[in-house]
Amino acid sequence: MRKLFVLLALLTAASQTQAELGFTTLTATTTSQTLTFSPAKSDVGICNYGAVIVYFRLFWEDETPAAATSAHNAIPAGSATAPYCVGVGDAGTTPAPWKHLTYISASSTATVTVTSE
C-alpha cells in the first residue's frame, strides 16, 4: 500500500491532469464535507498537501455519512512538494466497500487529493 502512495505523489506531479489520472482534488476547510464514491471503492488513498492537519472518516455503502471532527483519523500536514499520504484498504466487514468520505481541516484550508479503486 505504501508503494501505491509513493506512486500517487509522483503521478500527481506528472504533466497529465488529475482527472486523467483518476484523482479528485478537494479543499478541506473547518466545516466537514462529504465526498461520495460512485461506484463504491475497495481502496481509498488520501494525500494532504496543506500546512494543517486534516481529519477524515470513511463509511460503508449502506451507512449514513456523519461529520468528520478532530476526534477522527488524522493526516499530518504536508506540502506541495512533500504531501503526507495515507491509504485505507477494504473495510474487511460486510457491507464493503467504501461509499463516503467525510473530511475537515484543523484550521484554515488544506488541499487534499483522493484516489480510489
In a domain, 114, yes or no: no
For residue 80, tell me if it sits in a domain. yes
Percent of the chain's residues with pLDDT above 70: 76
In a domain, 19, yes or no: no
Q: How far apart are CA 22 and CA 82, in angstroms?
A: 20
Determine contact, residues 75/54, Cβ cutoff 8 Å: yes
In a domain, 49, yes or no: yes
Please indicate, yes or no, if residue 115 is contained in any of the structural domains: no
Q: Distance of CA 56 to CAs 10, 12, 70, Å?
A: 23, 21, 9
Q: Quote the pLDDT of residue 95.
A: 57
Has this prediction a pTM greater than 0.85? no
1-11: pLDDT as tens digits: 444 444 455 44
Provide the residue range defining the domain that includes 66: 2-14+25-107
Q: What is the pLDDT of residues 42-94, one digit of tens each?
A: 889 999 999 999 999 999 888 999 999 999 999 999 999 999 999 988 756 55
Specify whether the backbone of 6 is left (phi greater than 0), alpha (psi in -120 to 50) or beta: alpha
Total domains in the chain come to 1
Q: If we measure between CA atoms, which residue out of 55, 59, 67, 68 comes closest to residue 93?
A: 59
Is 116 part of a structural domain of the chain? Answer: no
Structure-model confidence comparison of residues 103 and 15, the more confident one: 103
69 lies in some domain: yes
